[in-house]
Amino acid sequence: MNPFVYGTVVKEPNFFDRKDELKRIVNTLAGGNNLVLYAPRRYGKTSLVIKAMESLTTLGFVCIYFDFMSVYSRESFIEVFTKAILSKQSNIDSALEAVAKFVKSIKPKLSFDQNGLPEFSIDFIEHKISDKTMDAVIDLPEKLSGEKKKYIIIMDEFQDIDKLNGENFEKLLRSKIQHHANVNYIFLGSRTHLLSDMFTNKSRAFYNSAFAINLTALPIKDTIKFLIDRFSLSNIGLDEETASYLVERAGGIPYYIQFLASEVWQYIINQKQIVDKEVINACSNKIIDLKSDYYLELFDRQTAYQKKLLKALALSETNVFSADYAKKYRLSAQSTTQKALTGLINSGVIEKNGNDYSFDDPFFKQFILRFMA
């Protein structure tokens, strides 16, 4: 079986490293503080937090995972949030009663699916969800918890809170949860610039309301060891230099490292038994070919100036605003470049890291270099 996993939450043995980050997450939350975790897309945020939750559950916390991605209205917020809470209750009957008591305008119900697993549904009594109902739902975890049973709530893709009536809901949520004595929150999300604005901009409701962790890429040395060990399980040879080349082609991003490694494993398992650069190049090109329709469409969607800028960024991601850069890539005024770049960042094509920029998807960059530059 292919020893590389990508696209889902990974657990051991597919998960490695992050020991310091794990400790910090567990200690911060167990110590009664809130936390925000920043990292670009596909760096391993969800996997890391789920792993931390395992430790926190062992310590006696009730950990509830909630994903804003599936929320698009007040109703869906109530449904997803309430169901996430109910799924973690040991005494379901009394929890259903408690929810109905605390939130007068909803009726949670329990049924069982074909496999006999519990399934919750929510009946709404109000035609239009009132602020009072929203207040009560947000307060539910505090009401159900207590001195003896503390809750930790993970709010994944938290920047998607925007979908709920913009900053009003953000204010409402903040005003409520700041009074929660027995519940701590960890916020995470993959749109770093949006999330960071929520927590560092003085005019936003969540300003300064949580400790912050900036998740970086996995350390190169440990990544190389992981790759060599995993390939050796199938008796496939990989030396350090080639492993390092694989990491580089995958842009150093955990998801793409496992994606490319998985393709390499697939390619090599029936052929030669040693991975070399040639194999890695062939597999990278295969990934680009597989995704080329999507990449072409993504490229076509950009304005003419953004296309020009993307080609420049594919060649060099540093000193983008210098005079030399503009001259070399025949760019217009700084303000024009800034506007185009903001568009690319907002649509998730480009990530901003300090003063440097990088492609969200390293294979899109390679696609541009191969076919567009």
Ligand X SMILES: Nc1ncnc2c1ncn2[C@@H]1O[C@H](COP(=O)(O)OP(=O)(O)OP(=O)(O)O)[C@@H](O)[C@H]1O
Count the site residues for Mg ion by CB under 5 A. 1
Q: How far is the CB of 31 from ligand X (least distance, A)?
A: 23
Estimate the crossing angle of helix 131-144 against helix 74-86, to 10 degrees.
10
Query: Based on C-alpha coordinates, what's the Rg of the chain?
Result: 23
Distance CA 82, CA 61 (A): 18
Per partner kind, with CB cut-offs from 5 to 8 A, the member of ligand X, Mg ion, none near residue 30 is none
Per partner kind, with CB cut-offs from 5 to 8 A, the member of Mg ion, ligand X, none near residue 43 is ligand X
Per partner kind, with CB cut-offs from 5 to 8 A, the member of Mg ion, ligand X, none near residue 299 is none
Per partner kind, with CB cut-offs from 5 to 8 A, the member of Mg ion, ligand X, none near residue 8 is ligand X
Q: 9 vs 194, which CB is nearer to ligand X?
A: 9
3-state secondary structure of 88: coil
Nearest to 153 by CA among 255, 68, 72, 245: 68
Q: 8 vs 203, which CB is nearer to ligand X?
A: 8
Residue 94 has a CB neighbour count (10 Å cut-off) of 11
Q: How far is the CB of 238 from ligand X (least distance, A)?
A: 16
Give the interface segment with Mg ion, choosing from 42-50, 52-60, 68-76, 252-260 (CB under 5 A).
42-50
Evaluated on CA atoms 315, 319, 320, 324, the torsion sign reads negative
Binding residues vs ligand X (CB under 6 A): 5-10, 14-18, 39, 41-47, 190, 254-255, 258
The span from the first CA to the last CA of the chain, in angstroms, equals 38
Q: 79 vs 156, which CB is nearer to Mg ion?
A: 156
Token pair listed for 267: 């390619």
Per partner kind, with CB cut-offs from 5 to 8 A, the member of Mg ion, ligand X, none near residue 230 is none
Determine the residue with CB nearest Mg ion: 46
Burial state string for 108-123 with b = 16 or more CB within 10 A and e = fewer than 16: beeeeeeeeeeebebe
Q: How far is the CB of 46 from ligand X (least distance, A)?
A: 3
Q: How far is the CB of 344 from ligand X (least distance, A)?
A: 17
Region of 88 please: left (phi>0), alpha (psi -120 to 50) or beta.
alpha
Per partner kind, with CB cut-offs from 5 to 8 A, the member of Mg ion, ligand X, none near residue 365 is none
Distance CA 225, CA 244 (A): 10
Determine the residue with CB nearest ligand X: 44
Q: 43 vs 367, which CB is nearer to ligand X?
A: 43
Q: 84 vs 129, which CB is nearer to ligand X?
A: 84
Q: 41 vs 174, which CB is nearer to ligand X?
A: 41
| E-strand stretches of 69-206 | 106-112, 118-124, 151-156, 183-189
Burial class (CB in 10 A: 0-12, 13-18, 19+), 87: middle
Confirm or reject binding of residue 82 to Mg ion (CB under 5 A): no
State yes or no: cis peptide before 3, omega within 30 of 0. no
Q: How far is the CB of 137 from ligand X (least distance, A)?
A: 25
Q: 39 vs 186, which CB is nearer to ligand X?
A: 39
Out of 28, 34, 46, 262, the residue judged to bind Mg ion by CB under 5 A? 46
Q: How far is the CB of 65 from Mg ion (least distance, A)?
A: 11
- Cβ neighbors of 232 (< 8 A, separation 6 or more) are 238
Q: 177 vs 215, which CB is nearer to ligand X?
A: 215
Residues at the interface with Mg ion (CB under 5 A)? 46
